[in-house]
Amino acid sequence: MDASTTPTGIEVSNKDQVLEISWEDGHTTVFPLYGLRKNCPCVMCRGGHGSMGDFEPEAFFEENPSRIEIRNLEQVGNHAIQITWGDGHNSGMYQWKTLRWLDPENHRPGDNEE
């Protein structure tokens, strides 16, 4: 596995509304929970197979995001985590490589360079 998509640590703070992942390459990704919930990769949230991959990274920069909590987090195999949200939703499998790609740092508003 690639060091940039290999997690070395993961921390959830419902109080601070963030999920933090440390990666083997030394990078740390901080996800606001609201944005992560918005970007749930499940078929239902992505609007069906036709639009899979159509994420909304702008949700990470919402000015007054609604609070959402993580109730449970489980590792799925060695490639993903499954999050159970405070609203009961839990069908999203967040793959490590998707999470690394979703890193809010890669999607700052006004930064059009991919």
Residues that bind Zn ion (CB under 5 A): 40, 42, 45, 92
Paired strand residues for 70: 85
Alpha-carbon span 7 to 38, nearest angstrom: 22
Our CB check for Zn ion shows the closer of 30 and 42 to be 42
Query: Shortest approach of Zn ion to residue 71 CB, angstroms?
Result: 14
Query: Shortest approach of Zn ion to residue 27 CB, angstroms?
Result: 26
Alpha-carbon span 93 to 76, nearest angstrom: 8
Query: Shortest approach of Zn ion to residue 37 CB, angstroms?
Result: 8
Our CB check for Zn ion shows the closer of 23 and 55 to be 55
Our CB check for Zn ion shows the closer of 23 and 37 to be 37
Alpha-carbon span 77 to 68, nearest angstrom: 25
Assigned token pair, 4: 């940039």
